[in-house]
């Protein structure tokens, strides 16, 4: 985010200051996880991807429109070789050049378990203790359960919905106590794979849903 820089108009300054930021956080015992949204872009027709090669980098519908399981107007085509190459090489670059400690993948289902596994293999070569987190869903479905055989941690929508339902007057108190104690989500295999949470970013917050 360039506005945090002392000179947003100078790309060299922005790069240098971001690297210094990561270095300073590391010196203070903090690790840096980057939220990466590879599953869609903001603009579509005027995006850099579409300018390079129209329609190649996006999934298309049989009627010739842009597929929209991201609910953002488009979704990238992670099955296309150059799109996969972009995702893999850019995460490696952030880890190698900026010493980012991990990544959280938005709507991981749209990227698919094969690509996520490929990214994990390549990042482990760069940083053996890399932190990998994924949203296991999209607006078309969920990642296969075999994602629990990878090194990814998964946001627990099961935890989120149980907490919401309990506050609404449904559910069992014992279930909520177990969740707050860090109970493993039943869909995962290892304790570190279950990220229990109540709300995150975007427009529909906990209080919005409650009201």
Q: Annotated active-site positions, please?
A: 106, 135
Q: Which of 99, 104, 83 minimizes the C-alpha distance to 152? A: 104
Alpha carbon of 27 to those of 22, 32, 108, 130: distances in Å? 9, 12, 31, 18
Please report the beta strands in the chain, taking only residues with DSSP state E, as ranges in sequence order: 33-36, 102-105, 131-134, 137-138, 141-142, 153-156, 194-196
CB 86 within 8 A of CB 115: no
Q: Which of 115, 43, 120 minimizes the C-alpha distance to 84? A: 115
Cα three-residue angle 168-170-171, rounded to 5 degrees: 130
Taking residue 188's Cβ as centre, other Cβ atoms within 10 Å add up to 20
DSSP structure class, residue 203: S
Query: Would you mind telling me the total number of residues written for the chain in this entry?
Result: 211
């Amino acid at each position: 985010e360039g506005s945090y820089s002392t000179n947003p108009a100078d790309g060299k300054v922005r790069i240098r200051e971001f690297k210094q930021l990561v270095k300073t956080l590391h010196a203070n015992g903090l690790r840096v996880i980057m939220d990466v949204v590879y599953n869609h872009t903001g603009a579509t027709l005027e995006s850099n991807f579409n300018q390079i090669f129209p329609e190649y980098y996006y999934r298309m519908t049989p009627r010739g429109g842009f597929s929209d399981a991201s609910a953002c107007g488009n979704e990238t085509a992670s099955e296309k070789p150059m799109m996969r190459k972009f995702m893999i090489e850019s995460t490696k670059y952030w880890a190698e050049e900026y010493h980012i400690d991990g990544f959280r993948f938005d709507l991981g289902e749209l990227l698919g378990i094969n690509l996520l596994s490929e990214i994990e293999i390549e990042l482990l070569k760069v940083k053996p203790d890399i932190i990998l987190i994924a949203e296991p869903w999209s607006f078309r479905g969920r990642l296969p359960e075999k994602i629990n055989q990878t090194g990814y941690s998964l946001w627990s929508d099961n935890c989120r919905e149980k907490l919401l339902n309990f506050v609404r007057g449904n559910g069992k108190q014992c279930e909520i106590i177990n969740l707050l104690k860090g109970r493993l989500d039943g869909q995962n295999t290892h304790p570190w794979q279950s990220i229990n949470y109540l709300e995150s970013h975007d427009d529909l917050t906990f209080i919005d849903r409650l009201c």
